Amino acid sequence: MKTLLIKQARICGRETDVLVENGKIARIEKGMKAKADKTIDGRGKVILPGFYNLHTHAAMTLLRGYAEDMELEDWLTKKIWPAEAKFNEDDIYWGTKLACLEMIKSGTVCFNDMYWHQEAALQAVTETGMRAFIGLTMIDGHPLGFHQDTNEVWEKIKNKQTDKIKFALAPHALYTVAEENLKWAARFAKVNNLLIHFHVSETEKEVDDCQKKYGLRPIEFLDKIGFLGPEVILAHSIWLAEKEIEILVKRKCHLVYNPTSNMKLSSGVMSFSRLKKGGINICLGTDSASSNNNLDMIEEMKLAAVLQKLANGQDIKVKDIFAAATRNGARALRLEGGIVKEGQTADFILIDTERLDFLPGFDLLNDLVFSASSECVDTVVCGGDVLMENREIKGEKELIGEIKKRYGRYPSPRD
Amino acid sequence: MKTLLIKQARICGRETDVLVENGKIARIEKGMKAKADKTIDGRGKVILPGFYNLHTHAAMTLLRGYAEDMELEDWLTKKIWPAEAKFNEDDIYWGTKLACLEMIKSGTVCFNDMYWHQEAALQAVTETGMRAFIGLTMIDGHPLGFHQDTNEVWEKIKNKQTDKIKFALAPHALYTVAEENLKWAARFAKVNNLLIHFHVSETEKEVDDCQKKYGLRPIEFLDKIGFLGPEVILAHSIWLAEKEIEILVKRKCHLVYNPTSNMKLSSGVMSFSRLKKGGINICLGTDSASSNNNLDMIEEMKLAAVLQKLANGQDIKVKDIFAAATRNGARALRLEGGIVKEGQTADFILIDTERLDFLPGFDLLNDLVFSASSECVDTVVCGGDVLMENREIKGEKELIGEIKKRYGRYPSPRD
């Protein structure tokens, strides 16, 4: 039995010890007399749940800064898809690994990914110790993925899932996957008990095009073809009419708010407050490093909060945003995580609050969301494994060297 | 003569040495054979201009997280002003010092401040080595400042200005300073050759109230009373009609964009693109740590950029935002800074690009603005003085201890 002991850290303002056994939080108790395989000094640190990043395309870290100052459609069709078509398995491995380290560094324990070459991604994630859902991406006519292949890929890799890493089905979007393939995906997901990860209603144009093509708004159409259910995680979900929100409530879909990407690509603003009132589970995601351009959930929480305050007033509070970044994500992924309590999965982080950005300290969550830099994340524990300690990740320096050697582009004329 | 030598850092993609003499960049040359009082190894680092934060209320770091989830008017009148009325000189000293260290830590070399107890602020800034303009704040009927006092304060402190620290005149806003006092301020600033630092058109309500009171929109009214000129720095400037923009162009006023504060207080979005087309000098500011809630100009650049992309499409580029954060600010403050070249003031920073967030490195400015955490700032030089080296600021740990002792509030029930 593998054990980990955190000594004298704070939870909810009180100093306590935390004992982890076999990947679960076994006991939370002050001054515990326990021995463990590894002990971490938690003095001056606060224990919080780690972040669940519910919408990523991890390997696109390799395209960070590659296509700038563009709106979604041009950005995708003129720059991103042609570049992606050249990626091979090796690229996916290195890009995913870079993404994982960046996510760990900013306190993320788990991500929900949509990309290609799933075996290479699986390899990269496994090596970092993170938790992930790796999407089997479907795009009609894409050189690498359409639904016939998905079946083959699934048959080949389905037994490679681990405790931490699962596969999900990821049809790309309404404008890239035909009706019959979406129906196929819905059936396939149900038969194989897979989560579905999908982009929807990211731009107003997407809604217009759907209405022209199908005579229905996106969510109405998806409901009509039987695509929606509690296994469905919908990224973006910006341009929703009232009747669509009612469908989403009824079908118990999970939504992912991606504020930075939505701002950067001029897409729009999710109606968080309205959706929350309907009782919809809203999660948080960074989207990819080529439309963000990082994978930092602490920064994402800040943008999430201030964007809602700009667009919809002061209705959405810090606790809503923190929940979206932690337990709501775990819930959508059907994980026992996102809360630090006995019996839960040991997916947590230690935050260093002995810093300028946590002073004077009126409220920890406010300081974390609005003030803190992700540099405050000191230690990351995922399923009981210590992925980072004192801001050090094993192999980080070597990875930076390797990525620089393979993909590095500095110095450029503008630096 | 005090000298500083940076060896083998990169400027515009090329490795070079930089020699600083008496606070100025004396020479930029590869493989320089110079001796200096202090030498810094710049390998793996990029030299960039430091940031000029053009709108702050530094000591309000002590109110970080104190008043959350409120719009501007309630936030000011119900929470902030009553709290500020209790601040004494000591509070201003410690609050300003905390702000300075936070700013240095994220690469800021200079700030334009509006607050009270100017001598205490001067003392704090002097000790940190930063450059600053300290505003003589005027609010009618405020317990601490109205225009009769400003004259007295000015007489008492005007000879205390240093090479790095100047005073400016800071009438608060149209809704807090009466017409005759604004006229007095404009004359006083001209006679004493002072910059003016002012809040304007931050909310739609402010514009409506001004129209009711004076029958004119804010900028029209200010122009009518002779308030506007090239010495005027206008924070926020969100709700501007076309005819007001024309006045601002004619009067050569400088504007400060404060995206985070404007979002967080539900105020609105500056029309950066339209203002830039008019040739107006637009600077960047964080506003205070109680409406942001930090003073990190790297984060502010990201919010500045993505907010413009959301509101106004892809017109504003990274280089516009970077200019706003650096040389535009220096220009408004009439400083020879914001550019790294021979003859300029030695206000620059060294960025560590050997990090995950700068990979693969398509473009340094894009990576800095959209991807980087302020943790990338390694070294800060202001007027030739090294304020931070290898992320270490002299006295940071002691300051954290002192602020915690005096103002610290953790643990709170919610952390």
The pLDDT value given to residue A149: 77
Residue A111 has pLDDT above 80, yes or no: yes
Q: In chain B, what are the domain boundaries?
A: 3-49+344-397, 51-332
Each residue's pLDDT tens digit, A282-291: 999 999 999 9
Q: Does B3-49+344-397 match B51-332 in CATH topology?
A: no
Each residue's pLDDT tens digit, B323-370: 999 999 999 999 999 999 999 999 999 999 999 999 999 999 999 999
- pTM beyond cutoff 0.90: yes
The pLDDT value given to residue A409: 83
Q: Which of A143, A130, A126 is nearest to A52 (CA)?
A: A130
* Touching A: B residues 133-152, CB under 8 Å: none
The pLDDT value given to residue A363: 94
Each residue's pLDDT tens digit, B177-206: 999 999 999 999 999 999 999 999 999 999
Q: Quote the CA–CA distance of B218 and B175 in Å, as a whole number.
A: 10
Each residue's pLDDT tens digit, B125-138: 999 999 999 999 99
CB contact under 8 A, A309 and B264: yes
Each residue's pLDDT tens digit, B217-256: 999 999 999 999 999 999 999 999 999 999 999 999 999 9
Average pLDDT over residues B380-385: 98
The pLDDT value given to residue A266: 96
Q: Which two tokens stand for residue A73?
A: 């459609």
Which residue of B lies nearest to A298 if distances are taken between CA atoms? B373
A28 touches B at CB < 8 Å: no
Cβ atoms < 10 Å from Cβ of A70: 18
Residue A267 has pLDDT above 50, yes or no: yes
Residue B259 has pLDDT above 70, yes or no: yes
Report, in angstroms and rounded to the nearest whole number, the Rg of chain A calculated over CA atoms: 21
Using an 8 Å CB-CB cutoff, list chain B residues near A354: 400
pLDDT band at B143 (very low <50, low <70, confident <90, very high): low
CA A395, A401, A405: angle at the middle one, nearest 5? 140
* Three-state DSSP string of chain B: CCEEEEEEEEECCEEEEEEEECCEEEEEECCCCCCCCEEEECCCEEEEECEEEEEECHHHHHHCCCCCCCCHHHHHHHHHHHHHCCCCHHHHHHHHHHHHHHHHHCCEEEEEEEECCHHHHHHHHHHHCCEEEEEEEECCCCCCCCHHHHHHHHHHHHHHCCCCEEEEEEECCCCCCCHHHHHHHHHHHHHCCCCEEEEECCCHHHHHHHHHHHCCCHHHHHHHCCCCCCCEEEEECCCCCHHHHHHHHHHCCEEEECHHHHHHCCCCCCCHHHHHHCCCEEEECCCCCCCCCCCCHHHHHHHHHHHHHHHHCCCCCHHHHHHHHCHHHHHHCCCCCCCCCCCCECCEEEEECCCHHHCCCCCHHHHHHHHCCHHHEEEEEECCEEEEECCECCCHHHHHHHHHHHHCCCCCCCC
The pLDDT value given to residue B190: 97
Each residue's pLDDT tens digit, A130-184: 999 999 999 986 655 445 578 889 999 999 999 999 999 999 999 999 999 999 9
Each residue's pLDDT tens digit, B112-127: 999 999 999 999 999 9
Each residue's pLDDT tens digit, A32-54: 999 999 999 999 999 999 999 99
- Of the candidates B358, B373, B413, which has its C-beta nearest A375's C-beta? B373
The pLDDT value given to residue A411: 64
Q: What Å distances lie between residue B366 and B41, B50, B195, B339, CA to CA?
A: 25, 16, 33, 18
Using an 8 Å CB-CB cutoff, list chain A residues near B340: none
With a cut of 0.90, is the ipTM above it? yes
Q: Pick the residue of B272, B348, B371, B393 with the most A CBs within 10 A to test the interface with A by mutation.
A: B371
Residue B147 has pLDDT above 70, yes or no: no
Cβ atoms < 10 Å from Cβ of B249: 14
Task: Give the count of alpha carbons within 13 A of B151, CB side only.
Answer: 9
How close B151 gets to chain A, by Cα (Å)? 33
Q: Quote the CA–CA distance of B387 and B377 in Å, as a whole number.
A: 12
Q: Which of B26-30, B77-81, B258-262, B303-307 has the lowest mean pLDDT?
A: B77-81
Q: Please tell me the CATH superfamily of domain B3-49+344-397, with its number.
A: Urease, subunit C, domain 1 (2.30.40.10)
Q: What is the CATH number of domain B51-332?
A: 3.20.20.140
CATH among 3.30.470.20, 1.20.1440.230, 2.30.40.10, 2.130.10.10 for A3-50+340-397? 2.30.40.10
Using an 8 Å CB-CB cutoff, list chain B residues near A367: 64-65, 293
B32 touches A at CB < 8 Å: no
Whether A410 and B368 have beta carbons less than 8 Å apart is answered as no
Average pLDDT over residues A335-344: 97
A264 touches B at CB < 8 Å: yes
pLDDT band at B413 (very low <50, low <70, confident <90, very high): very low
Q: Which two tokens stand for residue A190?
A: 């149900």
The beta strands (E) that lie in A293-372 are given as: 348-352
Q: Which two tokens stand for residue A21?
A: 């056994």
Cβ atoms < 10 Å from Cβ of A125: 26
The pLDDT value given to residue B142: 64
The pLDDT value given to residue B324: 98
Average pLDDT over residues A56-77: 93
pLDDT band at B150 (very low <50, low <70, confident <90, very high): confident
Each residue's pLDDT tens digit, B393-410: 999 999 999 999 999 987
* Touching A: B residues 313-372, CB under 8 Å: 313-314, 317-318, 353-367, 370-372
